Amino acid sequence: MADAGQMLRKQTMSQQKVQAYIAIAQKSDAFWGSVIVFLGALMLLSTFPFYPIYMIFILAAICAIVAVKSPPVGVIAGAAFAFPAIIYQSAIFGWFYLIILVLVLFQAFEDWLIIASLEIIALAPFAFGGFPFAGYISLIGMGIGSLHFGSKKSLAISLASVTIILFLSSIWLVENTAYMPVKLDVYRPGRSDLLLNRPTTDISNFGKELGDAMTRFLS
C-alpha cells in the first residue's frame, strides 16, 4: 500500500510538472505571437503615412494586446487600422486593398502567422519612410521563416515578399531598403494617384483629413 501511495504521489507530481511546462509554453507562444502581430501592424501602419508616429505605436500595441488572447483578431485589427491610412494616400490603392482585407478576414483564423510574417518581411523596406537598415528585417525574417515554416512554406513566403517589394517599389517609385534594386527610370513618371506623397496628419486636423480621404475614396 505504501508503495502504491508513493507511486501515486510521483505520478501526481509528474502530471503537475507537465501541466506547468505546458502553461509556460502556452504563455511563451502567446507572447511571441503578440510580438509578431505587433511588428506586422507596425510595419503596415508606418508604410502609409497618415497616423502621427505615436498613434502608430499605440495602434500596433492594441493589436498586440488583442493577439495575446486571439492572434487572428489582432492581425485583422491591424489590417483594419491600416485602411484609413491607405485611402488617405491613394483612393485607387484603397480599392485594391479592400480585396486584400477580405482575404485577411477569411484566412486570418488559419494563417494569421503567415499573414503577419508577410507584413513584416514585405513592408519593412518601406516602413517609416524607408528607414535605413530596416530592410535587414526582411532578410532576417526570411531566414527565420525557413527555420519555422519549413522549406515549402518559407519559399512561398520569400517569393511572395520579393514580388511585393519589387512591385511596390516600381509603382511608388521609391527605393527599398532590402537591397533589391529596381530601375525606377523605367517606371517614371508613374501615376500620381498611386504615389505615397501625402504628409503625416496632425491630431488637430485628423478628422478633416480622414473625411476628405473617405470622400475621395467613394468618389
Half-sphere exposure of 12 (CA within 13 A, CB side): 6
Write out the three cell numbers for 82. Answer: 491600416
Q: How many domains does one find in the chain?
A: 1
Write out the three cell numbers for 65. Answer: 494586446
Is 133 inside any structural domain?
yes
Is 207 inside any structural domain?
no
- Residues 126-138: tens digit of each pLDDT: 998 877 777 778 8
Reported as a pLDDT band with limits 50, 70 and 90, residue 20 is very low
Phi and psi at 170, nearest 5°, equal -75, -40
Is 219 inside any structural domain?
no
Phi and psi at 190, nearest 5°, equal 75, 175
Is 71 inside any structural domain?
yes
- Residues 200-215: tens digit of each pLDDT: 998 888 889 999 999 9
H or E stretch at 2: helix 2-47
Is 103 inside any structural domain?
yes
Q: Please state, in angstroms and as integers, the Cα–Cα distance from residue 68 to each residue in 19, 43, 86, 149, 193, following that order.
A: 20, 19, 26, 21, 38
pLDDT at 31 over 60: yes
Is 208 inside any structural domain?
no
Is 206 inside any structural domain?
no
Is 184 inside any structural domain?
yes
Domain membership of residue 21 as a residue range: 2-199
Whole-number pLDDT of residue 151: 66
